[in-house]
Amino acid sequence: GQQVMQIPQYQHVQEGEDFTTYCNSSTTLSNIQWYKQRPGGHPVFLIQLVKSGEVKKQKRLTFQFGEAKKNSSLHITATQTTDVGTYFCAGLSGAGSYQLTFGKGTKLSVIP
């Protein structure tokens, strides 16, 4: 079955440093989504990428979808303490699939 690998599992950064998490799928994806889960909370949708090579930005967050549509990344510039949480990628494998496969997430800690 489809697998989505996400690295690193944990990341500790000093406030103001950049942060990147990477997602890799075993199969070609029709789209990929990113979610953030704050400690004690539930996943919250951040963005969806659909096109090969797509890049989207949300303020300090930059999302990329690989050319082969098998990998993706989330980059945060100049982290803040409000960025703390676990970031998940989730891939949708193809037409007719109604199942999102989640990566195990990257837990981000920001040291003030």
Partner 1 sequence: KAGVTQTPRYLIKTRGQQVTLSCSPISGHRSVSWYQQTPGQGLQFLFEYFSETQRNKGNFPGRFSGRQFSNSRSEMNVSTLELGDSALYLCASSFRQGIGYEQYFGPGTRLTVT
Residues near partner 1 (CB under 8 A): 1, 30-31, 33, 35, 41-45, 48, 50, 88, 90, 92, 95, 97-105
| Residues 65, 72: Cα–Cα separation, whole Å | 4
Minimal distance, residue 10 CB to partner 1, in Å: 12
Question: Toward partner 1, which CB reaches closer, 77 or 107?
Answer: 107
Question: Toward partner 1, which CB reaches closer, 2 or 77?
Answer: 2
* 89 neighbors 4 (Cβ within 8 angstroms): yes
Nearest to residue 89, comparing CAs of 20, 31, 6? 6
